Structure 1
């Protein structure tokens, strides 16, 4: 169970769930109820239940003043999302859509006779980066670049679990802080599932071979990355230091070391922690903090995924030669 305490650490004003009267329509064009819930200054949730009587177009408005990424989760029906110069995406039961509109409005198009029931959320770019603790999945990275001129969007497969979570945002059994906590937790869960789905279906291209200069730059970047694993440089800082673009640096790490920059960092952190445990030189909390994990639960999950057992099984127990070979090979 991930520790989301830091996620909930918003300014005091975020602790009050802000809802206004839902927008309601019942005319020749459609029958609809649309609600916007301000869960926190950096997180808004949208709930839509509409029946279109005619072909129609809708241009929803957002009240974010800072850059944000929106996600559309369809529970029933279909809408076409028109991003103007950036193209179109289909919001259906079988796929979800992430999009970041820098300036242009997004137009939702409904066909006559369509029942469209959906939820969605908008997260500030800064908060989404914090949620991923700086390790943004490659499939979503284009949405989080500092400056964008046109809308960008990413689609991912949906499934029964995602639709069920999206539907849970409509629940009326909770109010006030309890509803806020429920919505915030559901959005975090949805973001994780959607990011994983987007990664599974992202096209994979083998990067071009590295030139000798690039190989030297990537090797130097690895050295700089591991100098202080408690406070490592960001990907941008690392790329600037060695004179490579961020994407090329990550591609170089994959070619030379079989992992991205931050996958390499994570692996080295965990290996250092394992060595410290077996030497009896650190407690669980000390090791987690020293190698750069702010939350012990995240550290334990990553350690178990790498070594097949929780850290407690390694503390004060020197590895046999055979076991060390197996761990190193993994």
Structure 2
């Protein structure tokens, strides 16, 4: 395999950095949380494929990291099952058999948290930015350049709906009928097909907008996100936030969906819960106090939201993390 493989620091993480296991071509894990096998393939210049199969019964975490110097476009598609994806600067979403994701992690790390009690079949690929530009040329959708921007200072995540054709194509990546060069050739063709189908979705406007954001709208929405998250305990209302940045409420929500993959409310909720998760791991504070700090007046509402997001109640999450 190419020497560049050694330069890719891809980590399989179940709890902390001390127990991180370097991944070569294939890694298999069988423990109290899951039975998992993941394969990584360098299938051509600027192209990687990741194939994971798992029976999940606990709460594992997969945290890959790559050290390639250039920008890479990443994608994950769940053929079966559900996994939550979160990036270090607060962006997050659920990858399911109906919703795939295109993203760029600014620090080249991402956290995958599979839902418990399921069979997971997850396909992923990475494409170097220069190869994406070379392949798409003038057909590059307006939403794609931020995902391959060499000078980006923040992460970018876009949800892309999945239909039967995309799911079938992603499932074909797991074929065992081909070997050697024939398999690599087949995988490369499927990845290009997936990129084409996902890009076509973007070109039609995943967010429902007929036209891409103007530079002024983009600036207003970035400003709105900063204002929204500046005080999660007392955030502005949607109407107040829209008025502050000079947009109507519908345009603001659509712009959030286009830039961040989530609505204004979902962005606030995800950021609150991510801050709460970090507090549970790193601070010895009562759950009620953490809930209040991130903006939940009623602890039961916080518990329900946290459980829906991370698959376990906050107290149980803290106990399991401390045991690990």
Task: Report if TM-score (shorter chain) is over 0.5.
Answer: yes
- Counterpart among 44, 48, 56 of residue 44 in structure 1: 48
- Counterpart among 182, 187, 192 of residue 188 in structure 1: 192
Q: What's the CA shift for 1:116?
A: 1.4
Residue of structure 1 in register with 2:100 after alignment: 96
TM-score by length of 1: 0.55
Q: What's the CA shift for 1:142?
A: 1.8
Task: Please give the residue correspondences for 1:77-116 in structure 2 after superposition, counting only pairs within 5 Å.
Answer: 77-116=81-120
Q: What's the CA shift for 1:130?
A: 0.6
**C-alpha distance in structure 2 between counterparts of 1:177 and 1:13, whole Å:** 18
- Given the alignment of the two structures, is residue 127 of structure 1 paired with residue 131 of structure 2, yes or no? yes
Q: What's the CA shift for 1:80?
A: 0.5
Q: How many residue pairs end up in the alignment?
A: 194
SS of the residue corresponding to residue 58 of structure 1 reads coil
**C-alpha distance in structure 1 between counterparts of 2:186 and 2:108, whole Å:** 31
**C-alpha distance in structure 2 between counterparts of 1:189 and 1:143, whole Å:** 18
Residue of structure 2 in register with 1:221 after alignment: none
Residue of structure 2 in register with 1:302 after alignment: none
- Given the alignment of the two structures, is residue 163 of structure 1 paired with residue 163 of structure 2, yes or no? no
Residue of structure 1 in register with 2:68 after alignment: 64
CA contact (8 A) 2:70 2:150 kept: no
CA contact (8 A) 1:139 1:195 kept: no
SS of the residue corresponding to residue 75 of structure 1 reads strand
CA contact (8 A) 2:71 2:149 kept: no
Q: What's the CA shift for 1:104?
A: 4.7
Q: What's the CA shift for 1:159?
A: 0.9
Q: What's the CA shift for 1:96?
A: 1.0
- Given the alignment of the two structures, is residue 150 of structure 1 paired with residue 154 of structure 2, yes or no? yes
SS of the residue corresponding to residue 139 of structure 2 reads coil
Q: What's the CA shift for 1:144?
A: 2.2
**C-alpha distance in structure 2 between counterparts of 1:208 and 1:53, whole Å:** 42
After superposition, give the CA deviation of every residue in 1:44-91 in whole Å (9 maximum; x if it has no partner): 000011122212222023353321011001100100101132421110
Task: Please give the residue correspondences for 1:256-267 in structure 2 after superposition, counting only pairs within 5 Å.
Answer: none
After superposition, give the CA deviation of every residue in 1:132-164 in whole Å (9 maximum; x if it has no partner): 024311122221223111210111110111111
**C-alpha distance in structure 1 between counterparts of 2:146 and 2:212, whole Å:** 17
TM-score by length of 2: 0.56
Cα distance change on mapping 1:111 and 1:208 into 2, 3 Å: closer
Residue of structure 2 in register with 1:23 after alignment: 27
Cα distance change on mapping 1:114 and 1:146 into 2, 3 Å: same
**Which consecutive unaligned segments of at least 5 residues does structure 1 have?**
1-11, 210-330
**C-alpha distance in structure 1 between counterparts of 2:154 and 2:63, whole Å:** 17
**C-alpha distance in structure 1 between counterparts of 2:68 and 2:169, whole Å:** 24
Q: What's the CA shift for 1:102?
A: 2.2
CA contact (8 A) 1:20 1:37 kept: no
**Which consecutive unaligned segments of at least 5 residues does structure 2 have?**
5-22, 215-324
Q: What's the CA shift for 1:114?
A: 2.6
**C-alpha distance in structure 2 between counterparts of 1:206 and 1:167, whole Å:** 32
**C-alpha distance in structure 2 between counterparts of 1:174 and 1:63, whole Å:** 30
Moved more, 158-167 or 143-152: 143-152
CA contact (8 A) 1:155 1:198 kept: no
Cα distance change on mapping 1:136 and 1:171 into 2, 3 Å: same
